[in-house]
């Protein structure tokens, strides 16, 4: 690792496991990152995306060509650190002097040890992922003449088995944390942290709830010992089908408790697995802030924020669960619910951060159900 990314220009290179080589300018921290190559279509919200734990283990392409143009602000962070292993942009901009900006994006990447690649054709890369699916890749940034050989980077990319890694274990809190309610009679929620965005916690707290932030490793008995009035299963990274411990906890909660349960993104997928459904990997997933979702009961369409690469298989759900929402772009499942119990999940992020606030009422519905349980 040579240079500090600020005192001297860096070269950059991306090499995929199947041999594509893309050269550009290195940004952020000098180094090499290996991850699953994915793209995100939001025109804003680059900092929220970078600090979203659901991007753990990935190399993130921003399709919008100008990234970093309003700087970096601590209030936008969705966790304590950047989770993608590397970042790819067309043009990395200096901060435009936004009043809330504390530094520029290049500084944020460098300070957290994240290499990036700029000055490349992100449209070409995005089209390639859309047509050929996500692929392992290696990204290198270093001083001129000090990049690793192409063959070495390709070998590193080919050795990655993204689906075999438990990224939830890397992202979840290790300790139980309590956030007191706004009033003594407010419901208490157990938020199981599979990589929860700060926005989910904020939406619950701003509605007055007391919130236990629960490690993903907790068993059903440990969660129930908190005597929650409701359980929220958070978003998170990776393949849900390899998270047997999380599925077992959700299944135990469904069997032992009658409190409302609400799953978001990965939490929605774990709920489906816990009741006997299956999940499968999507070709390139949904990652952006403009995904149209249809409520099949009301026929109302909402625009949503999404970040996932797996989907619930529609023909595997038991008869006591129904599909409540579908994606208007590809027809995939976006929501499920039990026919009679207050148990449901959605594939998108109703908390947004960033994105539209069309479906934030889902938090109101959940907390209304927990208040019934609380009384």
Q: Are strands 115-118 and 86-88 parallel, antiparallel or unpaired?
A: parallel
Give start and end residues of each alpha helix (H) in the chain.
46-50, 105-111, 122-132, 150-158, 168-171, 198-206, 220-224, 244-256, 266-274, 361-374
Cα separation of 113 and 94, whole Å?
18
Sheet with 333-338, strands from edge to edge, namely 177-179, 210-215, 188-193, 230-233, 261-264, 343-346, 333-338, 321-327, 279-295, 301-312
The dihedral of CA 204, 210, 214, 220: what is its sign? negative
**Token pair of 325 as six digits:** 């929402």
Active site residues: 265, 349, 351
Tokens standing for 235?
A: 């978003």
Nearest to 72 by CA among 21, 112, 106: 106
Cα angle 326, 328, 332 (rounded to 5 degrees) comes to 45
- What is the Rg, in whole angstroms, of the alpha carbon atoms belonging to the chain? 21
Nearest residue to 338 via CA among 359, 320, 358, 311? 320
| Burial class (CB within 10 angstroms; exposed 0-12, middle 13-18, buried 19+) of 166 | middle
| Residues 229/203, Cβ–Cβ less than 8 Å | no
Q: Give the other-Cβ count within 10 Å of 144's Cβ.
A: 12
């Amino acid at each position: 690792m040579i240079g500090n990314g600020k005192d001297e220009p860096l070269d950059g290179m991306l090499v995929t496991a199947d041999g594509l080589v893309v050269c550009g300018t290195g940004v952020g921290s000098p180094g090499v990152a290996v991850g699953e190559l994915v793209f995100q279509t939001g025109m804003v919200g680059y900092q929220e995306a970078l600090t979203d734990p659901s991007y753990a283990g990935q190399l993130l392409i921003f399709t919008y060509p100008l990234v970093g143009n309003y700087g970096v602000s601590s209030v936008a962070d969705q966790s304590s650190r950047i989770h993608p292993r590397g970042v790819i942009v067309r043009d990395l901009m200096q901060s435009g002097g936004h009043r809330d900006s504390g530094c520029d994006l290049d500084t944020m990447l460098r300070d957290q040890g994240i290499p990036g690649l700029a000055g490349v054709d992100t449209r070409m890369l995005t089209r390639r992922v859309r047509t050929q699916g996500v692929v392992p890749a290696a990204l290198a940034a270093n001083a001129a003449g000090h990049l690793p050989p192409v063959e070495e980077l390709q070998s590193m990319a080919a050795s990655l088995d993204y689906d075999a890694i438990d990224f939830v274990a890397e992202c979840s809190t290790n300790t139980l944390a309590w956030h007191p309610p706004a009033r003594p009679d407010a419901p208490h929620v157990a938020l199981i942290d599979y990589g929860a965005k700060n926005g989910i916690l904020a939406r619950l707290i701003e509605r007055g709830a007391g919130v236990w932030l629960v490690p993903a490793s907790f068993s059903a008995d440990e969660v129930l010992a908190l005597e929650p009035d409701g359980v929220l299963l958070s978003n998170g990274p990776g393949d849900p089908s390899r998270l047997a411990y999380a599925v077992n906890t959700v299944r135990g909660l469904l069997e032992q408790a009658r409190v409302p349960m609400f799953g978001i993104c990965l939490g929605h997928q774990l709920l489906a697995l816990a009741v006997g459904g299956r999940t499968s990997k999507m070709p390139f997933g949904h990652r952006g802030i403009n995904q149209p979702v249809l409520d099949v009961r009301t026929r109302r369409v909402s625009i949503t924020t999404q970040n996932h690469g797996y989907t619930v298989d529609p023909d595997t759900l038991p008869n006591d669960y129904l599909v409540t929402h579908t994606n208007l772009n590809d027809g995939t499942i976006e929501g499920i619910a039990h026919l009679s119990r207050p148990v449901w999940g959605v594939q998108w992020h109703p908390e947004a951060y960033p994105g539209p606030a069309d479906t934030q009422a889902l938090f109101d519905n959940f907390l209304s159900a927990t208040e019934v349980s609380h009384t």
